[in-house]
Structure 1
Amino acid sequence: MEYIHITDINDPLFAKMHQLMQTVFPAEEVLDFDLWKEPLEDPGIRVFVAVHEGEVVGATEYRYYTDLGIAMTDFTIIGRPGLGIGRFLSRKRQHDLADLAAQSGKPMIGMFAEIYDPYRIEDHSFGGVKPMDPFVRREVLSHLGYRRLDFPYVHPSWQNDGEAVSELDLCFMPSDENAEYVPSSLIADFLTRYYSVLENKPPTWQEMISRLRESERTALLPL
């Protein structure tokens, strides 16, 4: 299996990746094809595909903010069971992030991820791919070390229509396994930058950011 960096919207592998995203994720979670041009060219956004026998069978997008010392896992897609795609992507991603942190000269504090709450969502079959089932994904991420941040989380829809998506938890995998809290200002700074590409923010998102700014720290809870 190959781990291939995608940097051009015209790369045939990107078309296959985008099709896989549309198959797996709900529509509000998938950025339109043409809007991917700038993110793919952004050196701070890392998009890789897992290629098996010429086909894109998995993908991951993540980023590393050197000034904050944090990473964000945008998504991980497992398109086919029985190939060890999840472990392959996770290990390759961790090695790449370790290199990025070393180059920055600043240790990585941890990595954020948005995780569906399977107890709050309905009819999200995720393309019928069982490894992408929300219950499975949540347990896998728990095993990796992610924990839920203790506040009601919403995010702006990627369709940029000003709607709020509230069926996810924001989680964090601290580099220090003994960490029990994350500075709330760090969460607010990260979210403000991460969603700066979307102009239409729902009022509930703005209110959430304000509450974080007024708080000193946010607890890490089990998934």
Structure 2
Amino acid sequence: MSAAPRVWLQPLALDEAGPWAISAVEQAWSAVLPPAVQQRYRASRHHLRVRLAELLQLRPEAVPLHSPPGQAPTLEQGLGCVSLSHSRDQLLLAWSHWPIGVDLEWQQRRIQAELLARRFFPSQEWLQLQRLAPPQRAAQVLESWVRKEAAIKWQRSSLASDLRHWRWCADRQRLEHLLEGWQPRSVCERRNGWLCAVVGEAAEQAIWG
């Protein structure tokens, strides 16, 4: 198995007629979800299993993946770490030997940048953002947001408890947790109109597929 971390950006679409590369347990979990959520869940786990199967040289259904709806996916110990994010019709997947987190947003997404930053960002970051013109401020708020969401997945925490403790310093290109002092490596790439954030020890070495 390759030691290099991998990241994949791809369409989320999946033919509902099947066949799906998901486990019997995942089929059971998906059956009780609302229809729209069912489709996203099946598609994301199908694609994640297919990608992992290539790395682990297993059948997709046999990949030892534990991924209940609404929870971060995990692999059997010793097989690495995974993360996923979906937005609209796109899916971002990642695998690494070390903890990793990803997040995905449409680059032109309209957001209430000032409201978000005032409410959820540390005061030091908000002060820096105020120096920017509104269009630049909105773009930087969105980039900061995806980096922080990826960091929270890397950390295995939650937006509600930890978002306000993460600070993205664009001047120093540094992501920092203000309480714990963590400064994980982070990358935010623009691909085909999407912002793709990757956070983790090997984020900068990831091979994109």
Task: Report 1 or 2 for greater relative contact order, CA contacts < 8 Å, sequence distance ≥ 6.
Answer: 2
- TM-score for the superposition, normalised by structure 2: 0.32
Give the greater-gyration-radius structure (CA): 2
Give me the TM-score of the superposition, normalised by structure 1. 0.31
